[in-house]
Structure formats: structure tokens, C-alpha cells
Amino acid sequence: MKIGLLCGREYSFPPAFLERVNTLGKQDGITAEMVQLGGTRMGEAAQYRVIVDRISHEVDYYRGYLKHATLEGTYVINNPFWWTADDKFFNYSIAAKLGVAAPKTVLLPQKSYPQGVDITAESLRNLEYPVDWDGLLDFVGRPAILKPFSGGGWKHVYKVSNREELIAAYDGTGPYCLVLQEFIDFQQYVRCFTFGKTEILPVAYDPRERRYLVHHAYLSPELGERVVKDAQTLNLALGYEMNTVEFAIQDGIPYAIDFLNPAPDFERERITEFYFGHVVEQMAKLVIDRAMTGTPADSWPRWEEMIGAGKSSGFTGAPVAKAMKARSA
């Protein structure tokens, strides 16, 4: 059985991951390699039992190929259909319905549209004008955060305190669809690595400095349990098996701030040597398990079932589990 890795501008994770999978999977006849593509034919048989996708959000051809591979029986981490459909506003709405604390959030139309797209006034006849900026700020509170409803990397994120600042920031956002969100004045911040939906490793993180902190007693036991359970719930709902779930903790309440990270940063120099080894080990074990036991259906989200909107309901939350602890070498 072959496992494929699809990646872009990464340098430390790919070789370490492939080497570890080849070592651990040898006894079961499992090998790992970089995926090689050059035109995909309809009906082309799957080349890989599992593919780990870390780049298709930037390359449309890769995303199209992964959908085809799923159709042909490949287990793709993460599910390319759902990743295509997902966005942050939907995420926050699902979190609230599942009992996970989330900031009050508003979805906004984009300021402008890409050049070459045939958008006229008639195309936008369903939009209200002018926007009730004061009413929206009253809903989320002041100050507030303005940011794109998809994407990451802390790009195009603005903190605004009043109507004038909001409009000034909004006018510079161009074609991005946006969310306006309640500002969480956090005392603690954690980024939770996810492996296989329910294996959660909370890590202290400084978003101002973009820096991971090796701090094993960062959360109280009670807060750690809640963070793990909430992260499990969100990943089960959205189907992500490789993800980071971020919580801003204000007055003891962990608010789910960002959990649409299906290709999280795994580079050694940024996540620290301590966590890098753990990430490589857990990802290798995950893909070997999916190669042996997984079916493509297992990678789909469960939010419909979990909120009682699907054919089956009655889901009561994620399984109780303790936070994982990375071991030093």
C-alpha cells in the first residue's frame, strides 16, 4: 500500500514524515512518497491508499485531482469536498449550535470584485445599502475584529473601535468576503494540534509574536479538559483529521477563534523541535491507521448529525479524553 504526500513550500516536515511512515509501515508493506501528477484521466485508478493534502487550497488542479482520487477509493486527509465548501462564518455558527463558546460574528459582503468578473449593480440587487455599520458594531461590541471569512496567516486582520475605523479598514479589503467579530481580550491563548479528529495536543501560543511556547502546566486541569473536548467536538463536526484549533481564553472561558486550518504549519523552526517530533510521529501513525482501516466515508463531517438536522441525531458530544502530552526525545 502506498501513502502519498502533496505539499508545497515546506522543508522540514515532508522528509521527516515520509521517513517515519516508511519506517513504521515497513512491516505491513506500507510505503510513502511524494505524489507525482501530470494530467488525470477520467476513471484513472487510484495510485494511493491515503493522500495527505497540504497544498490543494493554493493549486486548483491538485484539489480537482483529490476529488477524483476520493471517488476512486483513496482516503484523503483532509476531505477535499468539505474543505472546498467550508468557511469561518459557518464554523462559528456550528460551534455555537454545539455549545462551544464562539465570539459573536457577522458575515459581510465584499467591498469589490476581481477584475474581469462581470458584476454590475443588477448583480447586487439583493444587497441592502447602506450597510447598518452602527447596528453591526452594536451586535458584536466595540472594539471588534474585521477579517476574511476564509484563509489564514493573520492576513487582512484589523482591530477597529468605531464606525469610522471599520469603514476605513473595510474599504481597503478589496474582493475579500469578511466577518466582523467580537474582540476577545484574552489572558491565555492555545493552539491545539489535531490528529484524527480526537487526538488533541494543546500548545501554549503567543499570537502577537506568532510563537509556540513549551509550557506543560499552561492550563488548569479543568480548563485543559474543556479545551480538549471542545476541539474534539469541532473536529468531529467538520471532519478534519489534520487541523489546528485555536482558543482565546478570556475570564476562564475558551472561545474558539480559528479552527479552519486543514493544512496547519508543521515546520520545525516555527513549532519548535519539541513539538515537531510529536507532530511527525502522530501524523505517521494516523496515515498508517487509515491505510489499514479507513474508508473514504470516514473523512466526511458529522455536523448535520450532531445538531440533529440529519437522518440520525442524538449526538451528545465528543468522547471524554485527556490532553495528549508530547514526550521529549
Number of neighbouring beta carbons within 10 Å of residue 80:
24
Any domain includes 52: yes
Report the distance separating Cα 164 and Cα 134, nearest Å: 10
The CATH number of whichever domain residue 245 belongs to comes to: 3.30.470.20
Q: Which residue has the cell 515532508?
A: 14
Q: Give the ranges where the chain is alpha helix by DSSP (H).
A: 13-25, 60-71, 80-85, 88-97, 133-140, 163-171, 221-238, 268-293, 303-306
Residue 245 domain boundaries: 188-306
- Residue 35 belongs to some domain of the structure: yes
Residues 217 and 283 in one domain: yes
**33 strand-pairing partners:** 4
**Structure confidence at residue 327 (pLDDT):** 65
Same domain, 154 and 250: no
Question: What would you report as the CA-atom Rg of the chain, rounded to the nearest whole angstrom?
Answer: 21
> Do 229 and 177 share a structural domain?
no
CA distance 236 to 49: 22
**What CATH number is given to the structural domain containing 60?**
3.40.50.20
Residue spans of the chain under pLDDT 50: 313
Let me know whether 178 and 192 are in one domain: no
CATH assignment of the domain containing 163:
3.30.1490.20
Please, what sign has the CA dihedral across residues 310, 311, 316, 318?
A: negative
- Please give the grid coordinates belonging to residue 43: 476513471
pLDDT on residue 146: 97
Q: Tell me if 329 is assigned to some domain.
A: no
Query: Given 53, 85, 117, which residue is the final one in a domain?
Result: 85
Main-chain phi, psi angles of 242, to 5 degrees: -130, 110
Task: Let me know if residue 197 belongs to a domain.
Answer: yes
Q: Residue 319: what pLDDT?
A: 59
Q: Quick one: cell of 116?
A: 474581469
172 and 255 within one domain: no
pTM more than 0.85: yes
Q: Minimal CA–CA distance to 213: which of 224, 222, 205?
A: 205
How many domains is the chain partitioned into structurally?
3
Instruction: Write down the pLDDT at residue 163.
Output: 96
pLDDT at 161: 97
For residues 226 and 276, state if they share a domain.
Answer: yes
Domain end point (choices 157, 182, 207)? 182
